[in-house]
Structure 1
Amino acid sequence: MKEMVNFDEQNFLKIGASIYEKRSMIEHIAEVICKEDFTNLFFTSSGGSQAMMDPFWDMVNEMSDIPVYRMISAEYLACGHNQVKEGTVAFLASKSGDTKETMAAAKVLKEKGVRLVSVIGKSDSPLEKISDYSVVYGDGRPQELILYLLIGKLLHIEGYFDAYPQFADELKHLPQVLCDVRIAVDEKAKQYAQDYHKEPYNIWIGSGNCWPVCYAFAMCVLEESQWIRTKSVSSPEFFHGTLELVEKGVCCTLVVTEGKTRELDLRVKRFLETHTDKFTCFDTADYPFAGISDAFRGILSPVVMNAILQRISKNMEAVTEHSLDIRRYYRVESY
């Protein structure tokens, strides 16, 4: 294997396994939630953490008739949500465990009698202390594995996901799959970074359960971490405005899901292939999921796409010599 920028395969597998080892504890949270009953589910956080959770809002919405809502925490604080009240179970996520808007939303939700379930990167954080249930992943990755187990188990108990036991058993292979995908895509990711890191304008497109991944990469990596001017647009919306900006020389990147909206992505692909000479497609279908059944590929598209795009992140950082940790304003200025 060629040397890869900022990638330690054995450590990656080790920390991935550390989350799967929490399976019983995570599933127990789902069991308690269902035993205590609930009226609806609510996903709320900020920035990339909200985007990480949004595919699970989509998962509940697609697989069940459980009322489920999502809202960025700052918007919830400003507007509220009439369906979120006692009987609601809210899911929150924060790498730091002290994200300002997320914490403020957690306090408001708690006052309303909403039970809080949090996915957190640091132990003993304010978010962990206020939550009814929490899973601290520390150095573990991917955080999505926690929610696949938690939401999958909840759907199973409620009678919507009969295949969950098999799905959960096969998730033990997910760290290796994500490792293999990173290795397989790295050369393409490196070339992408070299070719397009100086583009004055970029369009990123995706749909369905991979739309949050596309949106978060454009916002949190290219804009926030690399200061690259980028527009993200969903595949169904692409043909209602953004297509008019596409011409020769315009850099367009499409992420393709294996979920229900795949054909919407492929429609965009057919258009871009003939209208710009700077088009790149990343499709989860191009990579094997060793040890995981084909029936689960669509559900897992978001976490696999994240693995693909993370290799662009690491290679972009190396090419631009602009650390992904540098910020001009975020947590630097008050606003």
Structure 2
Amino acid sequence: MLKFDAEKFVTEGEKAYSLRADIEQIALKVQKEGISNIFFTASGGSNAVMQPFNYWMESKSSIPSYLLTAADFLAVGSKKLNKNSIVILLSKSGDTKETVALAKKMEQLGIRTISIVNKDNTPLAHHSTYAVNTFGYHPQELAFYFLIGKIMQVNNEFNDYEQFADELKSLPGDMNIVAQEVDSKAKEFAEKYQNADYQIWVGSGDLWGTTYSYSMCVLEESQWLRTKSVSSPEFFHGTFELVEKDVPVVLLESEGATRPLDERVANFATKYTDQFTKFDMKEFTLSHISTKFRPIVEPSVMWAALRRVSLHLEDIRDHPLTKRRYYRVVDY
């Protein structure tokens, strides 16, 4: 398989998993101090990575949570922010301008912050109450599973946390299996739509962040392909009018509570376009993850599937995923 090193991925997964105890201690400490609400905030794809965890809390926890872009948070603020708030930030580089500025502001206000970064000695870590360096190891969501899962456990809202966290140790290996299962489909998709003029990507629930980030951060930013992302329920309030026989529609189908919303999109798309593709969570083999936990790990698993699309697009189009015209290239 193209650029696939199963052993390396599992090794990196073990390193990411080794952070469990440290992250759980952070969760226990902030919970003991008191949590009035939680703000998830970052920029771009990092904000999208946190969407499933805000969704998880909104649907399963009594602790109020909010998802804001760092720039919006800086510009507008929030009346809900108080001395017992927790602000969770994510920046892979650790130096994203707006995210660092927000951490500095929270530092001045005496608001506790927890930052996830991929490097040592970053400005974001320096200005955060707590910082976790994941070194960019995948699955990148592990830190959030440990942090949010533990907080919810202590709040008597996730009694299965220990079992869930134990099973996560095998998630990287299962993600490798998914990557192998989907690779031929991913290659066919990349070959077929490598030069598509326009495509529509649809998702819902805890896969909405994945849908949004893949269309924006991979297809648009990394491959310069014009893409529209829309949630499954919102698809029928505007975007579906652009569906024609030759318009590619891609659905990331959840197996969680919002699956009926995805199925409605699938039923419509199969009638009105000949270019419909779906990546269905129910089709992926996860031998070590209990059925009840499968919806929670959807973002990580779908990333493993879509990563295969990304690598094939990069190869077929001879367009490196790191190539940019403007991002961190020019002043803006």
User: Shared topology, TM-score over 0.5?
Assistant: yes
| Paired AA for residue 209 in structure 2 | P
Contact preservation (8 Å) 1:85, 1:112: no
Match of 2:163 in 1: 166
Q: Distance in 2 between matches of 1:209 and 1:101?
A: 25
Match of 2:196 in 1: 199
Q: Distance in 2 between matches of 1:243 and 1:93?
A: 33
| Paired AA for residue 263 in structure 2 | L
| Equivalences for residues 167-246 of structure 1 within 5 A | 167-246=164-243
1:85, distance to aligned residue in structure 2 (A): 2.5
1:139, distance to aligned residue in structure 2 (A): 3.9
Q: Does 2:298 correspond to 1:270?
A: no
| Equivalences for residues 96-115 of structure 1 within 5 A | 96-115=93-112
Which segments of structure 1 move beyond 4 Å, counting only runs of 4 or more? none
Match of 1:11 in 2: 8
Contact preservation (8 Å) 1:257, 1:302: no
RMSD between aligned alpha carbons?
A: 0.8
Q: Secondary structure at the match of 2:294?
A: helix
* TM-score scaled by length of structure 1: 0.98
Selected match of 1:148 from 140, 145, 148: 145
Q: Distance in 2 between matches of 1:239 and 1:47?
A: 25
Contact preservation (8 Å) 2:92, 2:136: no
Q: Secondary structure at the match of 2:299?
A: helix
- Gaps of at least 5 residues in structure 2 are none
- What is the total number of aligned residue pairs between the two structures? 332
- Gaps of at least 5 residues in structure 1 are none
1:17, distance to aligned residue in structure 2 (A): 0.8
Q: Distance in 1 between matches of 2:144 and 2:238?
A: 34
Q: Distance in 2 between matches of 1:113 and 1:289?
A: 43
Superposed CA deviations along residues 191-227 of structure 1, whole A, max 9, x for unmatched, are 1000001110010000111001000000000000000
| Paired AA for residue 41 in structure 2 | T
1:6, distance to aligned residue in structure 2 (A): 1.6
Match of 2:90 in 1: 93
- Identity percentage of aligned residues: 48
Match of 1:131 in 2: 128
1:292, distance to aligned residue in structure 2 (A): 1.1
Selected match of 1:318 from 312, 315, 318: 315
Match of 2:289 in 1: 292
Q: Distance in 1 between matches of 2:297 and 2:140?
A: 13
Superposed CA deviations along residues 25-51 of structure 1, whole A, max 9, x for unmatched, are 111111111111121100000001111
* TM-score scaled by length of structure 2: 0.98
Q: Distance in 1 between matches of 2:273 and 2:58?
A: 35
1:258, distance to aligned residue in structure 2 (A): 1.4
Q: Distance in 1 between matches of 2:86 and 2:60?
A: 18
Q: Distance in 1 between matches of 2:108 and 2:79?
A: 15
Q: Distance in 2 between matches of 1:236 and 1:109?
A: 35
Deviates more, 1:251-260 or 1:104-113: 104-113
1:263, distance to aligned residue in structure 2 (A): 0.6
1:257, distance to aligned residue in structure 2 (A): 1.0
